[in-house]
Amino acid sequence: MSKINMEILGLSQRFITESTSYTSLYVGRVLSQYKDLYKIATENCELTAEISGKLRFDVKKLSDYPTVGDFVMLDRNTDTSGNAIIHHILTRKSAFIRKGTGTSNDEQIVAAY
């Protein structure tokens, strides 16, 4: 199995440095989202992930959830049984934001880097 070059996916030294604060977690990049599941690229493979209960509890608004383009910290970087768990979102450099749908005044992040 060949490794995925995370630098091609935008993994810069800034993200690498921030990721070292999270021991025993692995860096991944959100490729797509469908409802509560995320397709993530890691250095070893693409896998399906969901957010941890703690992250879900800490979310205050829609824009606090992971979105396409975010670098996240996961509990694994291989596609083993079950979904990987997203524990943290690394600091966004930029984001494409729109007003949330419906009557909510919440922001919705469409994509991030």
Model confidence pLDDT, tens digit, residues 41-83: 999 999 999 999 999 999 888 888 998 999 999 999 888 788 9
Q: Is 8 within the bounds of a domain?
A: no
In a domain, 55, yes or no: yes
pLDDT at 19 over 90: yes
Total structural domains within the chain: 1
Boundaries of domain holding 62: 13-112
CATH of the domain at 38: 2.40.50.140
Q: What pLDDT does residue 28 have?
A: 96
In the block, tokens 């493979």 appear at: 45
Distance CA 48, CA 59 (A): 20
Looking at the domain assignment, is residue 20 inside a domain? yes
Strand-pair partners of 73: 27, 88
User: To the nearest whole number, what is the mean pLDDT of the chain?
Assistant: 87
At residue 25, does pLDDT exceed 70? yes
**2 within a domain of the structure (yes/no):** no
Position 87 scores a pLDDT of: 97
Residue 15's region, left for phi above 0, alpha for psi from -120 to 50, else beta, is alpha
The pTM of this model reads 0.84
Mean pLDDT of all residues in 87-106: 75
4 found inside a domain: no
